[in-house]
Structure 1
């Protein structure tokens, strides 16, 4: 029973990791857009144009050519506020020949065909600045890379539970700061911090549940832990559909992380880690708690485990452990190549 409860609460953590991993698809949604041209709205109202007529008359290469770079990132360099503009041939009445109409950049911003907001629409991450959206996600991935290595060491050095709680707290705080960030630079910075701790925290949760159960069940709990991630994808999609504004969506997927701080009372430290650190008394207490929760009788070998059982020195984790033996070295390189 204890193992099932521990698996359930850690699966919630796995599902909550989804918005950081793939949230860019909703937070950074890029809708159809075109240059904002002053005077076009007033002219369209005077001429009684439909939206389609307005676009065909005032947006370069609109219509048969589809949404091209010109229609999204260029505008006609004409004065739509001029007098005497024809409603049937506005460009012809302004410049005479369509082929000579100059095109310019979107100096006055863009119009987005989207009822909500996203990172793209708020910070205008389109056209010449579209690379900033890729940089935003690259910050997350860079955080994943650094955090997965450094937080793994922290979990081995200071314990799985402490590492899990610290990463949860930092992830929750930085996620809220993303929602209230005043500029693109601050948004990317706080997202980088989320990347630094979130993937490492997710991996720590995986290690913790694997060490709570016997080797017979490790494969099963690992699969279930991954399935929770898939369930999180469905929940995120539903939330994104219901909340079309990226700041509110960011808050909605971040605030539940604060509830995970209750793991301080719900989850014990890994008994395997405690034994490796020669903290046998604490390990026995955790094992008794697990046995009681599972309604199992504690084996005699564990009952006799105490602090006087000293078998060698306390284990000290090192990055060299990843390549210390031929078997571990082979597994390390295979996993690196797979990722």
Structure 2
């Protein structure tokens, strides 16, 4: 159950960009427009029609979002009914020239996101895609490397380390002073979060027998769906991305309590020839379930040998025909 709860903390990293990177309606900030609008008594709709290019005909066009009129709204003698005609009458051009949003943007949103804070729109809209791509790249690298660490040093230790790094980097991201630091901390989260999820799945799968393995796997995935619902509710209540990031990250520190309540995988301990520790874990599980181990159970565990332990290797994925078949099937499926 504890590992299932840890799985529910994965959605903020996997799909958190939907809320952290929300893109509200926006337009260029034009200095002096607010003063002219106040002087002329324009409504918001009138202000947009007079001062935003193509707003009336193409409300969500790139022209209205990424360009503004290249004119001085502080000039005297502007007409409140047709301010652009007043400007063109003093120029040889029939149209008012346009310019990029050099003074920033105005966002129609009561909350904040990484888009509104770091202006990830127009020419910099690709930075939002990079933000999520870094997470996915971290998933790829972390899934490979952390799987090896879990085989080499144990499932429990690997799970605790990934939870700690994920929590710390999530907190640092909430206080990131720039876009660059935010992407770095998000990449770190990607490196450890997917690997931690895989480690948790391996741990619970090794605790149960074949009869219940499918059931616990389904419940483990169901926790992800529950996490999605909780994330949506929290994001609705907290519309500011830094506070939202803190709200979904701080609970992760509670999972560090696994150190005292979560045992190591007995299967891994047996593979590492730590039979005494494995038996302690098995006896603890049996006691918790109100069961008594049969006297013949000890004989099922192979005797400890003085030879060297088998260290995990990526070649283990293709060492035997059966494992090789499963490896290629999983690679194709993903």
For normalisation by structure 2, the TM-score amounts to: 0.96
1:200 maps to 2:195: yes
**Aligned-pair distance for 1:331?**
1.9
**Aligned-pair distance for 1:251?**
0.3
C-alpha spacing 1:113/1:163, structure 2 compared with 1 (3 Å): same
CA distance in 2, matches of 1:13, 1:311: 38
CA distance in 1, matches of 2:270, 2:296: 13
1:79-102 deviation line (CA, Å, top 9, x unaligned):
111111011101001113895210
Between 1:58-67 and 1:111-120, the stretch displaced more is 58-67
User: In the alignment, what sits opposite 1:43?
Assistant: 36
1:284 maps to 2:294: no
Give the conservation status (yes or no) of the 8 Å contact 2:8–2:223.
yes
User: In the alignment, what sits opposite 2:95?
Assistant: 100
* Equivalent position SS for 2:27: strand
* Equivalent position SS for 1:75: strand
CA distance in 2, matches of 1:28, 1:333: 36
CA distance in 2, matches of 1:212, 1:142: 30
CA distance in 2, matches of 1:90, 1:303: 91
Q: Work out which of the residue numbers 137, 149, 152 in structure 1 matches 2:144.
A: 149
User: In the alignment, what sits opposite 1:22?
Assistant: 15
* Equivalent position SS for 1:34: strand
Residue ranges of structure 2 left out of the alignment (5+ in a row): none
CA distance in 2, matches of 1:131, 1:253: 25
Give the conservation status (yes or no) of the 8 Å contact 1:140–1:195.
yes
Instruction: State how 1:101-250 maps to structure 2 within 5 Å.
Output: 101-250=96-245
* Equivalent position SS for 1:264: helix
Between 1:222-231 and 1:319-328, the stretch displaced more is 319-328
Q: Work out which of the residue numbers 91, 102, 123 in structure 1 matches 2:84.
A: 91
CA distance in 2, matches of 1:123, 1:236: 23
1:47-97 deviation line (CA, Å, top 9, x unaligned):
111101100110011022221000000000011111110111010011138
User: In the alignment, what sits opposite 1:265?
Assistant: 260
Give the conservation status (yes or no) of the 8 Å contact 2:53–2:68.
yes
Give the conservation status (yes or no) of the 8 Å contact 2:238–2:244.
yes
Q: Work out which of the residue numbers 318, 326, 330 in structure 2 matches 1:323.
A: 318
Q: Work out which of the residue numbers 316, 333, 338 in structure 1 matches 2:328.
A: 333
> Superposition RMSD on alpha carbons, in Å?
1.5
C-alpha spacing 1:92/1:191, structure 2 compared with 1 (3 Å): same
Number of aligned pairs?
A: 332
CA distance in 1, matches of 2:94, 2:80: 19
C-alpha spacing 1:303/1:333, structure 2 compared with 1 (3 Å): closer
CA distance in 1, matches of 2:297, 2:174: 48
Give the conservation status (yes or no) of the 8 Å contact 1:60–1:75.
yes
C-alpha spacing 1:99/1:208, structure 2 compared with 1 (3 Å): farther
* Equivalent position SS for 2:106: strand
User: In the alignment, what sits opposite 1:4?
Assistant: none
For normalisation by structure 1, the TM-score amounts to: 0.95
**Aligned-pair distance for 1:304?**
5.0
